[in-house]
Structure 1
Amino acid sequence: MKPYRLLETSQKYTDYDMIQEHTAIPEFPDIRARLLLAFLNEAADTEQKADRGQLFSLVTGLVQMALDTHDRIDTSPLHQEEAKMRSRQLNVLAGDYFSSRFYELLAKAGEIQMVSRLSEAICENNRLKMNLYQQVQRTMLTSEQYIEAITQLKMQLFLSFKAYLPADRAELWEEMLYAFSRCEVLAEDMQLKQASLQQRPFGHYSLYYALEQATQQDQVAMMAEPVDSPRWQQWYEQYGAVEQIGQLLEQSLSVIQSRLQQPGYERLRADVAPLTEVYATLR
């Protein structure tokens, strides 16, 4: 399987008319999955191990979709119209369905140990998420605390594969996964639509950054304004949130490029460098 076909292959397990008709599902984490495949392919010394890399990248992406789908469930206790109620129900079922496919695919391949590893990673992801929920309830996060927390959540499932890599590559894998996950958080924020803000239980980077930079008078106004209000866009522009995101994105891309230029990473560089292109266009 070519790395760019991971997304295409995943659609066999995610494209269902009933789900798409009633709710929007998260995107397959294509960049992180292709990054994982690049590292596993480089470490593979047999065709069997190469096949495992393809399977592992696919199922990890499906599990991530399951977690992201459940994060979109509207937990509001208020009465909802039928369409919203159906969307809520489908989000629950879709998340459960994506999780079931991960178990099925790994079980058929006899990869029981990987089922255990990913299950442990899911538990750790949920633990971090609960800690973040509690932290958000207690105090206001800084913009850097926010981006660090969300980056760690994006990394957890994929960190399971350090044990499948040589020691030197395991260290590089964690560094690249961190940098790419951070890029993804920033890119999502840049492309964020006002209508989707209610689906982000922890807020987003621009919100925290604008609050940090705002005058005391504007901070009071911000705290009273719904997060999907058009006024927020004015504050983002006023306090340079988009420019700040661009600078942070540039820093992460520089880390990736600098690390891959080191001797001994020629094959990885050929497979990984193209993954930065989608983020480079946003700068």
Structure 2
Amino acid sequence: MDATYIQESIEQFKTNIFMHVRHRTLLRYVGTPVLNENQLFYLLLPFLNGETWNDQIGESAITVGIVHASLNEHDKINENNATTKEQQLTVLSGDYYSGRYYEILAQVGNIPLIKQLSEGIANRCEHQIKVYESNSYSLDEWYETISVIQTELIKRFYQVYGFEQYSTFLHTDLLLQQLQKEMQHIQDGHYSSIMRKMSDSALADGKSLEQELQNKIDALKDLLDENLRSSILKDELKLYIKQKVAF
């Protein structure tokens, strides 16, 4: 196994997800679902590392990918212009993907995963709502929010199938990669909604958001490196993770 095999596995996984939610009208107006390859990698990580993996687990991983696609579509909605045909179809695409994942899980009677994903979606949405609240949150609380948004559904998948040993890498790496992405956007002059809120939190404490983000990124890199050195992961997977975060 090398980086090419890992990437090909992710691409095949992505194709399998697309096949389950393909709809001609939505494809025409909305395009293919938005999927985060870093999240797909962590859904596949137990398989890539040699864990027992059967058709039910594989199908469950696909449904988690569909849930992410659904939530990503809803995140794309323009709050100030949600009445165009494209925006309305984007809402419908998110709802359609949601219906597909419930249908798939119901067909195989996977009640434990339905329960975990339902709770996970609720927790994820509660954290996303913080961006629209007037409450003040610390930077550490915002880091927790970003982590939940990125990892919550995969964590629930791990819990159902006994893959919790991979959660440490999941949380550290996905938070690190998201902060690196946000830092690049800030340096390009673009602030996401959550970064604007975090900037307010940093200013309230007399701090620079960019400096605080860089400190957090450096700390997460050190933590991830430490975890990888003492981990159960195959060497090829360790190298792949390191290359993704540019050690």
SS at match of 1:73: coil
1:17 CA displacement: 6.2
Residue number in structure 1 paired with 2:74: 70
* Bigger radius of gyration: 1
Question: What secondary structure is seen at the aligned counterpart in 2 of 1:157?
Answer: helix
Give distance in 2, aligned partners of 1:151 and 1:75. 24
2:59 maps to 55
**Pairwise mapping of residues 28-39 of structure 1 onto structure 2 (< 5 A)?**
28-39=35-46
Shift in Å, 1:247: 4.5
Conserved 8 A contact 2:13-2:62: yes
**Among 34, 56, 65, the residue aligned to 1:27:** 34
Alpha carbons of structure 1 residues 248 and 203: separation in structure 2 relative to 1, 3 Å: closer
| TM-score (norm. length: structure 2) | 0.75
Q: Residue 138 in 1 paired to residue 135 in 2?
A: yes
Q: Which amino acid aligns with 1:180?
A: D
Q: CA deviation at 1:128?
A: 3.4
For 2:229, the equivalent position in structure 1 comes to: 261
- Residues of 1 paired with 2:189 and 2:17: CA distance? 26
Letter in 1 for 2:199: L
Q: Structure 1: where are the runs of 5+ without partners? A: 216-238
**Which of 169, 172, 181 is 1:176 aligned to?**
169
Structure 1 residue 272 displacement after superposition? 5.0
C-alpha separation between the residues in 2 aligned to 1:183 and 1:15?
32
> What is the aligned partner in structure 1 of residue 148 from structure 2?
152
Whether contact under 8 Å (2:10, 2:37) holds in the other structure is no
> For 1:202 and 1:13, how far apart are their aligned partners in 2?
31
Q: Cα 1:266–1:152, aligned 2, differ >3 Å: closer, same or farther?
A: closer
Deviation at 1:93, TM superposition (A): 0.6
TM-score (structure 1 length as normaliser):
0.67
Aligned residues: 239
Show the counterpart of 1:270.
236
Partner-residue secondary structure (3-state), 2:84? helix
2:67 is aligned with 1:88: no
Alpha-carbon shift at residue 258 of structure 1 (Å): 1.7
Q: Which residue of 1 aligns with 2:203?
A: 211
Q: Cα offset for 1:21?
A: 5.4
1:64, 1:206 → 2: CA distance? 24
